[in-house]
């Protein structure tokens, strides 16, 4: 049994139910962190399925078709923009995920809101550094 009563006695209620979304105006930062983590998680999971499906399709058609498939995707600017979005989703999900793993070890619970703001700020910085890699022509 944990010595930390904050962990033992914390009643999560029904925060997971999407019905809580209608109270969005009353939500505190922790709830927004929860929503953002869910949203980016769903985006990344959807992308994973698409990624494996598209690459797999390329392979059934052969190596040449695979290379042509990637080049035709990458010639579209919208694809590059979506890749920046994907990168942003990954970076935030990873940084906020580290924040969640810290909470599991009861580290940083008192400053959870500040850690959320930190994960947002760091995500923004990392994505800004990454943007040229995605958008600049070769």
What is the contact surface with another protein in residues (CB under 8 A)? 14, 16-18, 38, 41-42, 44-45, 48-49, 52-53, 55-56, 59-60, 62-64, 66-67, 70-71, 74-75, 80, 83, 87, 90, 94, 97-98, 101, 104, 130, 132-134, 136, 138
Distance separating alpha carbons of residues 55 and 84, to the nearest angstrom: 19
- Using the minimum distance from each CB to another protein, give the nearer residue, 53 or 114: 53
Minimum Å gap between C-beta 26 and another protein is 20
Nearer to another protein, 14 or 26 (CB): 14
Question: Looking up tokens 């994505």, which residue turns up?
Answer: 127
Question: Which residue matches tokens 């959870």?
Answer: 112
Q: How far is the CB of 137 from another protein (least distance, A)?
A: 9
Tally the C-alpha atoms within 13 A of residue 117's C-alpha that lie toward its C-beta: 5
| Three-state helix/strand/coil letters over 106-123 | CCCHHHHHHHHHHHHHHH
């Amino acid at each position: 049994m944990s010595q930390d009563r904050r962990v033992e006695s914390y009643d999560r209620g029904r925060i997971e139910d999407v019905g809580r979304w209608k109270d969005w105006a009353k939500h505190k930062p922790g709830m927004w962190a929860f929503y953002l983590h869910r949203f980016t998680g769903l985006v990344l999971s959807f992308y994973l399925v698409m990624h494996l499906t598209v690459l797999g399709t390329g392979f059934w058609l052969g190596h040449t078709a695979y290379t042509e498939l990637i080049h035709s995707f990458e010639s579209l600017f919208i694809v590059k923009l979506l890749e920046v979005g994907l990168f942003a989703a990954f970076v935030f999900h990873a940084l906020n995920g580290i924040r969640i793993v810290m909470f599991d070890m009861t580290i940083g619970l008192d400053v959870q809101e500040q850690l959320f703001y930190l994960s947002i700020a760091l995500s923004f910085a990392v994505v800004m550094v990454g943007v040229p890699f995605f958008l600049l022509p070769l």
